[in-house]
Amino acid sequence: MLWAKLEDEYDVIVVGAGPGGSWAAKHCAEEGLRTLMIEKRQEIGSPVRCGEGMAKVWLDELGIKPNKEWIANEVQGARIYSPNMAHIEVNEKHAGNECGYVLHRSFYDKAMAREAARSGAQVLVKCMATAVLKEDDYVTGLKIHYMQQEKEVRAKVVVAADGFESQIARWAKMPGLRTNLKSKDANACFQYNMIGVDCDVRYNDFFVGSVAPGGYVWVFPKGEDQANVGIGVNLSKITGAAEAKRYLDKWIAKMPEYRKGKIIEQVCGGISCSQPVKKSHANGLILVGDAARMIDPLTGGGIANAQMSGMLAGPILKECIEKGDVSEQALKAYDDAWRAEMETQLLRNYIAKEKVLDLPDETFDKIISALSEVQLEKITTYTLLKALETKHPELVAELADLL
Amino acid sequence: MVAMRLDKHVCMWCGACVGVCPVNSIILFETRIEFQDHCTDCLICERMCPVGAIYHVDENDGHIQLQSEI
Ligand SMILES: Cc1cc2nc3c(=O)[nH]c(=O)nc-3n(C[C@H](O)[C@H](O)[C@H](O)COP(=O)(O)OP(=O)(O)OC[C@H]3O[C@@H](n4cnc5c(N)ncnc54)[C@H](O)[C@@H]3O)c2cc1C
Ligand code: SF4
Ligand code: SF4
């Protein structure tokens, strides 16, 4: 869309054209709402900030047809390696929300934005929201910048899908809306896309323990000799500069399969490993995806949750706007809807993340070795404890509160 | 008193520092990081930056960066 065609008021303005924003814009536009989506980058989906793992089951639930354009590889499962390199294998269906497809996010994000545009949403790139407009305790719009121009645009509801930065919520300063993160609830991430590596295209591999304090190293294969080799390190474990990159470089140097690889892309970013926000709605404002801290705190996967929340927002915003009530009370329906879909899982995995945050290497070794000796149909807390019981009863007590 | 600085040749414009700043004092204008006045010098952003693009200067303008043992 051209800036000149920009209207003074929309039903909905979505900030951010990540998967969450595009899916919110698509579903709002499909409901007939006059929708504008703005993105501060000049190109949607680039630079990539992602390991690009995504579960197959989620695509279905989100109403997305798999497309060769943005699928790099299909994996059958995940392997989790302990510090002593014992490993367990988890079938794709039970491996959480990061396993199934390895995507090309730069194409995926564009495909999602394309759907939003085709559904009728206006899209403006290189356009940044720099301030939140408020009147009588309501968020009523945004100040936006495009090239050298500036404009105030009104909206009945602002959808903050601005990702990890989550600044719209903080600029809005609405009661109860908090998106700040504690150090132990954030991970610093770094990744190389490497060519000429010996990866196994059938698996997404995870390496846990002190190689990546409070997080893990991942290898997500995108092709026979090509993989995303990345790391997340918990911020509470970082004392010096550039440690995410340092830990990854150190790990790669030890691995003959990967150290011969050639780097064709570098990726950098932050993820939350927190509980989701206590409140994702205020008068005239809702938060979607990473902005609402919906990333799975254990796996770090956030694409699907972002899109799910965006999708749920569509019909709810339609109803609120139609009734002329975009108050906090009315928009609570959105908060309830995404919680019903994903909160239990997020809270359970938050407890699990808190557990593994300080787990010593020996404990990882014991757990993963014990599990590798039994055939696990499905890794659940119960099967995990059951398998540990015979070999390491002392650990069962320690992990029992996970239940 | 210190002041936060950015090495723009290192920065990858990822917004990781923005997301963890406790007082929301950093803005990422697509490819350009700006520190605002209400920074409290907590150095959290410097630790968070995955590639070490953030450093600080002290009152004598000396460049300082948190050293890493890794
Ligand atoms: C290194 C790394 C690896 C990851 N690996 C995986 C993985 O393997 N699987 C997985 O599922 N998830 C992964 N994630 C998480 C995943 O990338 C996010 O959960 C997902 O992108 C969230 O989508 P979103 O739409 O909420 O936010 P984003 O995709 O972050 O989109 C937010 C958009 O808002 C824009 N924006 C921000 N502020 C403004 C503003 N003021 N004005 C205009 N535009 C603005 C940004 O430019 C951005 O494009 C990873 C994250 C990182 C950093
Ligand atoms: S030093 Fe602390 S307050 Fe200042 S910009 Fe960095 S994180 Fe924000
Ligand atoms: S975290 Fe580092 S690389 Fe990322 S935007 Fe901030 S300064 Fe730049």
Is A98 in contact with A300 (CB distance < 8 Å)? yes
Please give the angle made by the CA atoms of A123, A143 and B25, to the nearest 5 degrees. 110
Per-residue pLDDT tens digits for A222-261: 999 999 999 999 999 999 999 999 999 999 999 999 999 9
DSSP A188-237: EEEEEEEES----TTEEEEEESTTSTTSEEEEEEEETTEEEEEEEEEGGG
pLDDT at A394: 76
Ligand 1: residue of A49, A171, A293 to mutate (most ligand atoms within 8 A of CB) is: A49
What value does the mean pLDDT take over residues A142-150? 95
Mean pLDDT computed over A353-370: 92
pLDDT above 70 as % of chain A: 94
Query: Best mutation site among B18, B20, B25 for ligand 2, i.e. most ligand atoms within 8 A of its Cβ?
Result: B25
Answer whether residue A403 shows pLDDT above 60: no
Residues B48-68 pLDDT 10s: 999 999 999 988 878 899 999
Ligand 1 — pocket residues by CB below 6 A?
A: A 15-21, 38-41, 49-54, 98, 128-129, 161-165, 167, 189, 191, 230, 267, 269-271, 289-291, 295, 300-303, 306
> B47 vs A235: CB contact, 8 Å cut-off?
yes
The CA A161 to ligand 1 mean position distance, Å, reads 9
Taking residue B66's Cβ as centre, other Cβ atoms within 10 Å add up to: 17
Q: How far is A144 from chain B (nearest CA, A)?
A: 12
pLDDT digits (tens, 9 = 90+) for A83-105: 999 999 887 666 655 679 999 99
Q: What is the pLDDT of residues A105-135, one digit of tens each?
A: 999 999 999 999 999 999 999 999 999 999 9
pLDDT band at A315 (very low <50, low <70, confident <90, very high): very high
Place of tokens 């190389």: A192
Half-sphere exposure for A273 (CA within 13 Å, toward CB): 29
Alpha carbon of A271 to ligand 1 centroid (Å):
9
Question: Is residue B19 within 8 Å of residue A270, measured between CB atoms?
Answer: yes
**pLDDT of A47 over the 70 cut:** yes
pLDDT of residue A40 exceeding 80: yes
Q: Under 8 Å CB-to-CB from B4, ≥6 apart: which residues?
A: B35, B39, B41, B45, B46, B54, B55, B56
Q: How far is B1 from chain A (nearest CA, A)?
A: 19
Check: CB of residue A24 under 8 Å from CB of residue A14: yes
Contact A203, A89 (CB under 8 A): yes
- Give the pLDDT of residue A382: 67
Domains of chain B (ranges; CATH) run: 2-69 (3.30.70.20)
Query: Per-residue pLDDT averaged across A209-229, rounded?
Result: 97
Interchain CB contact of B22 with A (< 8 Å) = yes
Q: Which residues is A48 bridged to in the sheet?
A: none
pLDDT of residue A98: 60
Can you read off the two tokens belonging to residue A90? 């988890």
Q: How far is B35 from chain A (nearest CA, A)?
A: 14
Please report the beta strands in B15-60, taking only residues with DSSP state E, as ranges in sequence order. 26-29, 32-35, 54-57
Beta bridge partners, A46, equal none
> Residue A371: what pLDDT?
83
- Quick one: which ligand is closest to A186's CA? 1
Ligand 2 touching residue B55 (CB < 6 A): no
Q: Among A197-211, A337-351, A378-392, B2-16, name the one with the lowest average pLDDT.
A: A378-392
Assess B65–A contact: CB distance below 8 Å, yes or no: yes
Task: Say whether pLDDT at A391 is over 80.
Answer: no
Q: How far is CA A82 from the centre of its chain?
A: 24
Predicted confidence (pLDDT) per residue in A148-178, tens digit = 999 999 999 999 999 999 999 999 999 999 9
Centroid of ligand 1 to alpha carbon of A139 (angstroms)? 23
Chain B residues with beta carbon closer than 8 angstroms to that of A188: 16, 47-50
**pLDDT-derived band of residue A380, with 50, 70 and 90 as boundaries?**
low
Q: Is the CB of B4 under 6 A from ligand 3?
A: no
This prediction has a pTM of 0.95
Region A139-144: mean pLDDT is 98
CB contact under 8 A, A269 and B47: no
% of chain A at pLDDT higher than 90:
85
Amino acid at A173: K
Measured at the alpha carbon of residue B32, what is the angle toward residues B29 and B33, in degrees to the nearest 5?
90
pLDDT: which is higher, A346 or A94: A346
Measured between beta carbons, the chain B residues lying within 8 angstroms of A42 are: 30
Q: Give which of A71, A7, A51, A107 is closest to A271, Cα–Cα.
A: A51
pLDDT of A392 reads: 78
Q: HEC profile for A75-137?
A: CCEEEEECCCCCEEEEEHHHCCCCCEEEECHHHHHHHHHHHHHHCCCEEEECEEEEEEEEECC
Chain A residues touching B49 at Cβ < 8 A: 188, 241-242
A331-347: burial string, b at 16+ Cβ within 10 Å, e else: bebbbebbeebbeeebe
- pLDDT of A390 higher than 70: yes
Look over chain B and give the mean of its residue pLDDT values, rounded to a whole number: 95
What is the model's pLDDT at position A395?
76
Q: What is the mean pLDDT of chain A?
A: 93
Token pair listed for A111: 């495909």
